[in-house]
A and B are shown apart, each in its own frame.
Chain A
Amino acid sequence: MADENRAIKKPLPEMTPVNRPFWEGARAGRLVMQKCRDCGSWVFCPRPLCVECHSERLEWVPLSGRGKVFSFTVIREVVGRALRGFAPDIPYVTAWIDLEEGPRFCSNIVGCPIDKVTIGMGVEVVFEDTGEGVVLPKFRPGQAAA
């Protein structure tokens, strides 16, 4: 079963004209997000319009990559065939991370024993190459955000 699961690929994001800068940024080792030039709001996930004022004047802004864990969960079971590729990783941590500049980002906490992850802990971005042409921003313990 474990070998069979290893053969199943993990889902990868679909590149679109709207989200491409995010994933190109990750490949270049940068965490970037959209910000509205008119009202100053952060826009994430990527959108064609500002969700606050409907302006199209969105720019891609680099972030520090520092943040704090807002909430997290330890995943202990795979649910559904599409995600079976994660079976060999179980148990692992997914978290909502509040980035220093504002936006909340969902990712994994890596490089940390599972029982050491806490709400409020400081984390910093690391870039993990999937080997499939996509680099995923993940987070490891780091300097707590201001």
Chain B
Amino acid sequence: MSIRGEAAIVGIGETPTDRLGSKPGEPRKSTAEYLAWAAKLAMEDAGLAKKDFEGQGLAAIYTTSHSQPFWPEEVASILGLKPGVSLAGGNGGASSVSLLGHAAAAIAAGLCDLVLVIAAASPFGERGAHRGAPADTRDYEMPFGVMGPNCKISFVMSRYMHESGMTAEHFGKIAVTARYHASLNPNAYLRKPITIEDYKKSRLISDPIRLFDCVLPANGGKAYIMASAERAKTMRKPPVYLLGWGECNNASYGPRYRSNPLVTGISEAGRRAFAMAGVTHRDIGCLNLYDDYIPIVMLQIEDLGFCEKNDKAFFERTDFTFKGDLPIQTGGGMINCGQPSTTGGMLHVIETVRQLRGEAGQRQVPNVRFGVATGLGAVNYGKNFGCTAAAVLGNER
């Protein structure tokens, strides 16, 4: 049995994003408040209420600050729900795309008819992000002064530049495109358009990673609701079907002790998602790719098969804007909309739904029928991403 077209997204909710608490003593909302707010918005969007979720599915995404073992139960308690199926997204930034498949599988198996997938975090003021770091990081990276993902992705970017010959111009083009889309998205946090020169002038954090390569930490909450295809037909908003899905964790290419960090698990997750959906690259109208860092967006475009590896010329000739050949990051991405810890990736699912519903306003991709969203989580020792997931969504079955 395939989960292709068995379930659809019928509701989305997105709270405003803020950076309250980034200054000492500044009051901010709690994770619980963002959770409740996002859930309410998604239910309103779907035309559903709390009573509709009695005995249904609930999926909660762990955040860096709340990775306690009973997190799904705590979320159920915050929302006053009594789920018949409880799913937990423990794949970091890949969780929201990962859970699309897990929720659809639960629905297709008849375990429930609805799943509320919820993600929220209020990271500012919650200190000690390195507590509970995995052993490889704790023992073989931190003692050498590895500054978290900024530094680890710098290793990847530096090698990528070495092998592909790409320069700041190539990375800057992606950053400028994402910001242009953010300028057309009323929900984006950073909305002032930038130029390649602005990108090149942004300060080096960990060479070659610059400030404008890096995601923006933020507080916020997001949610989506999945329903069976049958039930989705009766909802107020047009269904957005999950047509293809793939997940690949602990991917390694080449010998494990010397893995090629320029290939991500998206190469496998994406291939499976395209195969399940039965679509070709030409069918895809928009890509919303997990963007903790600009070079990672580019590696995923390659790994999804839109071009060869290290294809510098492809990045030069392609128009990535919503009016162009291959629209990417159509809402501005996490880099401009903000990343509430590991829950940030849900932005890409929500933006893809907006595009497929025709609700993207000034940044609407014309005639879009299929879109791809991806998620990534955890940066392994000497590799790249520990968790990866890709989904093909469509506005027809």
A residues sitting closer than 8 Å to B (CB atoms) are: 10-14, 16, 19, 41-45, 51-52, 70-83, 86, 89, 92, 94-96, 98, 102-108, 119, 130, 134, 136, 138
Q: How large is the interface on B (under 10, 10 to 19, 20 to 34, 35 or more residues)?
A: 35 or more
Q: Within 8 Å CB of B154, what residues of A? A: 73
A-B contact list, 15 entries, CB within 8 Å: A12-B143, A13-B138, A13-B140, A13-B143, A42-B255, A73-B209, A77-B206, A86-B145, A92-B145, A94-B155, A96-B155, A98-B258, A108-B144, A119-B162, A138-B144
Q: Is the CB of B204 within 8 A of A76?
A: yes
- Closest partner residue, chain B, to A70 (CB atom): B159
Stretch at the interface among B75-83, B86-94, B128-136: B128-136
Q: Within 8 Å CB of B162, what residues of A? A: 71, 119
Q: Within 8 Å CB of B142, what residues of A? A: 11, 82-83
Q: Is the CB of B159 within 8 A of A71?
A: yes
| Bound Cα distance from A79 to B145, whole angstroms | 10
Q: Is the CB of A75 within 8 A of B138?
A: no
Q: Within 8 Å CB of A14, what residues of B? A: 135, 138-139
Q: Within 8 Å CB of B204, what residues of A? A: 74, 76
Distance (whole angstroms) from the CB of B370 to the closest CB of chain A:
35
Most buried by A among B127, B158, B261: B158
Known: A94-B155, A105-B140, A106-B146. 4 other contacts (CB 8 A): A13-B140, A19-B139, A45-B139, A71-B155
Q: Is the CB of B143 within 8 A of A11?
A: yes
Distance (whole angstroms) from the CB of B65 to the closest CB of chain A:
13
Residue B387 CB within 8 A of the other chain: no
| Bound Cα distance from A94 to B145, whole angstroms | 7
A102-B255 contact, Cβ under 8 Å, with A10-B145, A76-B204, A77-B205? yes
B residues sitting closer than 8 Å to A (CB atoms) are: 127-131, 135-136, 138-148, 150-151, 154-156, 158-159, 162, 203-209, 255-259, 261, 381-382
Q: Is the CB of A104 within 8 A of B257?
A: yes
| Bound Cα distance from A41 to B256, whole angstroms | 9
Distance (whole angstroms) from the CB of B133 to the closest CB of chain A:
8
Within the complex, which residue of B136, B155, B256 is in contact with A52, where a contact is CB–CB below 8 Å?
A: B256
Within the complex, which residue of B143, B158, B209 is in contact with A10, where a contact is CB–CB below 8 Å?
A: B143
Q: Within 8 Å CB of B150, what residues of A? A: 77, 79
Distance (whole angstroms) from the CB of A132 to the closest CB of chain B:
10
| Bound Cα distance from A44 to B316, whole angstroms | 38
A76-B205 contact, Cβ under 8 Å, with A81-B128, A104-B258, A119-B158? yes
Q: Is the CB of B139 within 8 A of A13?
A: yes
- List the 3 closest A-B pairs by CB distance, nearest first: A73-B154, A13-B139, A82-B130
Distance (whole angstroms) from the CB of A60 to the closest CB of chain B:
15
Q: Within 8 Å CB of B143, what residues of A? A: 10-13, 130, 134, 136
Distance (whole angstroms) from the CB of A5 to the closest CB of chain B:
13
Q: Is the CB of B140 within 8 A of A45?
A: yes
A78-B158 contact, Cβ under 8 Å, with A73-B209, A83-B142? no
| Bound Cα distance from A44 to B156, whole angstroms | 19
Distance (whole angstroms) from the CB of A113 to the closest CB of chain B:
14
- Closest partner residue, chain A, to B142 (CB atom): A11
Q: Within 8 Å CB of A94, what residues of B? A: 144-146, 151, 155
Within the complex, which residue of A10, A76, A102 is in contact with B258, where a contact is CB–CB below 8 Å?
A: A102
Q: Within 8 Å CB of B140, what residues of A? A: 13, 45, 105-106
Q: Is the CB of A77 within 8 A of B147?
A: yes
Q: Within 8 Å CB of B381, what residues of A? A: 45, 106
Within the complex, which residue of A108, A119, A134 is in contact with B145, where a contact is CB–CB below 8 Å?
A: A108
| Bound Cα distance from A103 to B259, whole angstroms | 9
Q: Within 8 Å CB of A51, what residues of B? A: 256
Q: Is the CB of B145 within 8 A of A83?
A: yes
Q: Is the CB of A71 within 8 A of B156?
A: yes
